[in-house]
Amino acid sequence: MLFRRIVLCALLVGALAGSLLSAIQLWQVIPIIHRAEHFEQARTSQMTEPAREVTHGHKDAGHAHPAGEWEPAEGAERMGYTLLANVLTAIGFALVMLVGMASSLKLNYVAKLDWRYGLLWGVAGYAIFFVAPSLGLPPEIPGAATADQQARQLWWLLAVVCTATGLAVVAFSKIRWRWVALGLLVVPYLVGAPHLATGPFADYPPPVAAELADLAQQFFWATALANALYWLVLGSASAWAVRRFLKEAVT
């Protein structure tokens, strides 16, 4: 019964937070992505045009071209997949938050579960999943050159695990030296995030590179704001759901 309530609450909270994030992205983030994709597509066309001319100049070369990777069509289809991805991701995070809040209530880590407590969870989620990774690997626009993807993913995971562990020990541990765990927060930056020796837009002409760098700055702040609102809503809505639907079952 409790499991069913948690899942239903996660669906409700995830749908709310994921829809809000999608709306903010549609308003602030996606226009920046479209502008960056315009430069990326123009550069790709310039690079592939000479190859096409050489290929078409041979009789037996044929006209078969490898099909590109599938991607959703612009407009409603693309936005629909974005909404679906955001809602599903938010449901997963909501499950973690709901279980964590319910457990802290059951174990008497918190006496009163209100919206302020939910906001603290939201701030923690924002710090763990956006701020900490972004300090080493800022969100990047289409067309930016990046280091090896696997190395980037491993560093992102290191930043998330170290930040989550450090904050959890400080928040929930009763031992006197728990503040030492905050040292974990600097470990990923001592290791260093993987980056290319050249800049992300080194292959573009200087005027285009300057415009893309400006777009990258706009993209960072737009995603920072969108994620901040997303996590605050996720945390406060999760606290409300625990107080409204789960409190009696866990106390």
**pLDDT tens digit string along 38-54?**
887 877 666 655 544 44
Question: Which amino acid type is present at position 247?
Answer: K
Model confidence at 78, in pLDDT bands (50, 70, 90)? confident
Position 160 scores a pLDDT of 97
Position 63 scores a pLDDT of 38
Euclidean distance between CA atoms 192 and 31, whole angstroms: 31
Question: Which amino acid type is present at position 202?
Answer: A
Q: What percent of the chain has pLDDT over 90?
A: 57
Position 51 scores a pLDDT of 45
Q: Are 166 and 181 in contact (CB under 8 A)?
A: yes
State the pTM of this model: 0.85
Q: Is 107 exposed, middle or buried (0-12, 13-18, 19+ CB in 10 A)?
A: exposed
**Which residue intervals of the chain are DSSP H helices?**
2-24, 30-56, 76-106, 115-126, 132-136, 149-172, 187-191, 206-241, 247-250
In sequence order, the 6+-apart residues with CB closer than 8 A to the CB of 142 are 33, 36, 37, 40
Residue 183 DSSP class = G
Tell me: pLDDT of 61 over 70: no
Tell me: pLDDT of 93 over 90: yes
Which tokens sit at 153? 């993913």
Position 104 scores a pLDDT of 84
Tell me: pLDDT of 62 over 50: no
DSSP letters, 60-75, are GG-S--PPPPP-PPTT
In sequence order, the 6+-apart residues with CB closer than 8 A to the CB of 8 are 245
Across 54-63, 70-79, 114-123, which has the greatest mean pLDDT? 114-123
Neighbours of 2 (CB within 10 A): 11
**pLDDT tens digit string along 99-155?**
999 888 887 777 677 788 899 999 999 999 999 999 999 999 998 999 999 999 999
Q: Which residue has the higher pLDDT, 71 or 7?
A: 7
DSSP letters, 82-118, are HHHHHHHHHHHHHHHHHHHHHHHHHTTS-S---HHHH
Euclidean distance between CA atoms 135 and 132, whole angstroms: 6
Give the domain ranges of the chain: 1-39+77-139+212-251
Euclidean distance between CA atoms 123 and 118, whole angstroms: 9
**pLDDT tens digit string along 198-243?**
888 888 888 988 999 999 999 999 999 999 999 999 999 999 999 8
